[in-house]
Structure 1
Amino acid sequence: MHTVTLIKGDGIGPSIMDEAVKVMDAAGAPIHWQEAYAGLAAVERFGTPLPEQTLAAIDQTKLAFKGPLTTSIGGKGFRSINVVLRQTYELYANVRPAKSWAGVNSRYADVDLVIVRENTEGLYAGLEHYLTPKKDIAESLAVVTRAGSERIIEYAFQYAREHQRRKVTVCHKANILKYTQGLFLDVAREIAPRYPEIQVEEKIIDATCMHLVMHPQQFDVIVCTNMFGDILSDLTAGLVGGLGLMPGANIGKEAALFEAVHGSAPDLAGKNLANPTAVIMAGVMLLRHLGEIEAAQRIQSAVEKVVREGKQVTPDLNPDSTAGTVEMGNAIVAAMA
């Protein structure tokens, strides 16, 4: 039996997480769920967006399954809980697969790539401040270390080898940012020869974006620094049908966190309209991480079947559907029977 910290999140989080838990339980996954709170739900209950009780739970389980959290935009409000969790538990590898879905109306039918994003450094390190008392000049520092670059690039090549991927694209901006991006690229050039069976290419971030839109089939595994990975993850989601279909994993040496990568969509909360696919597929990634391969495959096959048939899916996948979040979850459970 695996014990996993369950954080349902804000907005649509509780509704989609309930469906994910229902599906995972129905698949026979041996998981004991230990519920904890973060974000606005935690503020309402504990007066803080990240209570000590939640950190204590993750300290114990080393595994978290999380719904979307609401984070304020701009200089007011609390800092991103996602960033804090990633840095607290050294969840240095953010993994986001983007694969085309049968039954989903998207621009491409044959995309199958993975973004491996450095998750703790770069411009998201949180080192920013105002330079003047008037707060009219702000500065953010991008931190790239050799150690951080080595572990994420090594992870990307290991991932490619273990999943029989053919190529790793090192995405960078070393032509302009000579030191930070230059260091990242230098480390990639040192590590790549250890994986002679894997093709390696170097590509500047802006060219990567253009080529992803024009011909995404040329990519397999893309590894990059934090902010570039954040942007590319959403771009690749757009290639396969949107964030409602995109799962995410945050992997460290001692802990891991799995989540839907979309927002909390408070305008949809309580309306039984939110698509649970992304977080259910994050649950599949969690099960694979735990070695529960059979349960993971049962769920994945059932989700693919329901999405392909397009009948019991949420309206974002089929505007003519009258099914909602709960009905889609029920259909996935039925497809496993």
Structure 2
Amino acid sequence: MTESANPLRLGLIEGDGIGPEIVRATRAVVDEALEVVGVPPVEWVPLLIGHAAIGEYGDPVPEQTLEGLEGLDAWIMGPHDNASYPRAHRTGLPPGGAVRKHFGLYANIRPARTMAGVRSTASAMDLAIVRENSEGLYADRNMFAGSGEFMPTPDIALAVGVFTRVACERIARLAFEIAGRRRKQVTIVHKANVLPMTMGLLRDVCYEIAAEYPDIETTDEHVDAMAALLVRTPERFDVIVTENLFGDILSDLAGELSGSLGMAASLNCSDTHAMAQAVHGAAPALTGHNRANPVALMGSAVMMLRWLGDRDSHSALHRVADRIEYAIAGTLRAGVATSDLGGLASTTEFTEQVRARLHRW
């Protein structure tokens, strides 16, 4: 792709619960920012997951959606609420996990930082958790076929954790590349003291990759110590690289420390595809009340635009991303926030404030 290439074609999946509200808010902000910067408008391709897909196709992740995504480079996905699906559709991977596995989105990047105007537990924090997204201790993601969980008797349940050198190498290399654009620090998080073969492989491979990046400071921490250190001194950390389950837990902790899970952006990606999907869930209690915080999904869309800009050497997409980030920060700094952040703004009011600030660069 070049600066004068055809308009982007991006998927738009509203999902369940508050998904339609925050996806529409995010689309409005992206569309406005593209227009302000002078980038051709996106061709949005609407696709279904979750309750809407069950109603239309009888499947929460229909083949029609996967086929539609095949022709796209990136997409925005709203949250899913698989716990509320009809019983027949509650088994197997939830929609987000199914899409990640289908497209081999091996990396999950989750930044967390404190922002002016947002009450937070952490006084200062600006870090990124780089989570291996395809293996590790999440048994439902690491098998070619089957869930990786099984019960030899009704009273015994087992789960298989999988760690391969190739997966450890690619997630480590991505973490070091990201750190090279930030403060040049990487912390490897593991539990090799009690899982020396699996977690030891992750730790050792990360250190092997670290040798290729001599300008980056590399340390490691056990996951339990890391959780305590994130609470105590989160400002110490820059890029954290870890396995699937640990990354999920630590990124939720970091999101809350920054003010709210409603702030927690996330990008799932491979070398060829990217999915913007906020960390938080579908929040069914907020559905239809115009109270959901769209910041996390807007931030996820910013990450998607930067991923496309990097991959395709499209500098204008970086300018679009910068403008959205600036507008979100300015809105929060001005005290405009949704209820989870202690504010009074509705989803719509917050979105309109962000759109207005896109013009004040």
TM range (shorter): over 0.9
Query: Which residue matches 1:123?
Result: 137
Normalised by the length of structure 2, the TM-score is 0.89
1:236-278 Cα offsets, whole Å, 9 max, x none, are: 0011011101110011022111111100011111000001111
Task: Give the match's secondary structure for 2:339.
Answer: coil
Query: Which residue matches 2:194?
Result: 176
Q: Aligned-pair distance for 1:26?
A: 0.6
2:288 aligned residue (255, 261, 270): 270
Query: Which residue matches 1:136?
Result: 155
Distance 2:253 2:240 in 1: 13
Structure 1 residue ranges (4+ consecutive) displaced by more than 6 angstroms after TM superposition: none
Query: Which residue matches 1:23?
Result: 29
Normalised by the length of structure 1, the TM-score is 0.95
* Kept after mapping to 2: 8 A contact 1:310/1:318: no
Q: Aligned-pair distance for 1:173?
A: 0.4
Distance 1:230 1:129 in 2: 22
* Kept after mapping to 2: 8 A contact 1:102/1:109: no
Query: Which residue matches 1:212?
Result: 230
Distance 2:196 2:95 in 1: 31
2:338 aligned residue (314, 325, 330): 314
2:246 aligned residue (228, 238, 245): 228
Q: Aligned-pair distance for 1:71?
A: 2.3
Q: Aligned-pair distance for 1:32?
A: 1.0
Alignment RMSD: 1.4
1:56 maps onto 2:74 in alignment: no
Distance 1:255 1:290 in 2: 9
Q: Aligned-pair distance for 1:84?
A: 1.5
1:88 aligned residue (93, 99, 102): 102
Q: Aligned-pair distance for 1:109?
A: 3.0
* Code of the aligned partner of 2:83: S
2:166 aligned residue (147, 153, 163): 147
2:12 aligned residue (6, 17, 22): 6
Distance 1:10 1:238 in 2: 22
* Kept after mapping to 2: 8 A contact 1:96/1:114: yes
What is the aligned length?
330
1:57-100 Cα offsets, whole Å, 9 max, x none, are: 11110312111111229x98132222221111111110000011
1:242 aligned residue (260, 276, 286): 260
Listed as ranges, the matches of 1:287-298 within 5 Å are 287-291=305-309, 292-298=317-323
Structure 1: stretches of 5+ with no match in the other structure: none
Distance 1:315 1:63 in 2: 30
Query: Which residue matches 2:313?
Result: none
* Code of the aligned partner of 1:3: R
* Code of the aligned partner of 1:31: V
Distance 1:44 1:115 in 2: 36
* Kept after mapping to 2: 8 A contact 1:6/1:35: yes
1:212-249 Cα offsets, whole Å, 9 max, x none, are: 11111111100001000000010100110111011100
Distance 1:227 1:213 in 2: 19
* Kept after mapping to 1: 8 A contact 2:260/2:340: no
Q: Aligned-pair distance for 1:285?
A: 0.9
* Kept after mapping to 2: 8 A contact 1:249/1:285: yes
Structure 2: stretches of 5+ with no match in the other structure: 1-6, 310-316
2:52 aligned residue (41, 44, 47): 41
* Kept after mapping to 1: 8 A contact 2:260/2:341: no
Q: Aligned-pair distance for 1:170?
A: 0.5
* Kept after mapping to 2: 8 A contact 1:83/1:120: no
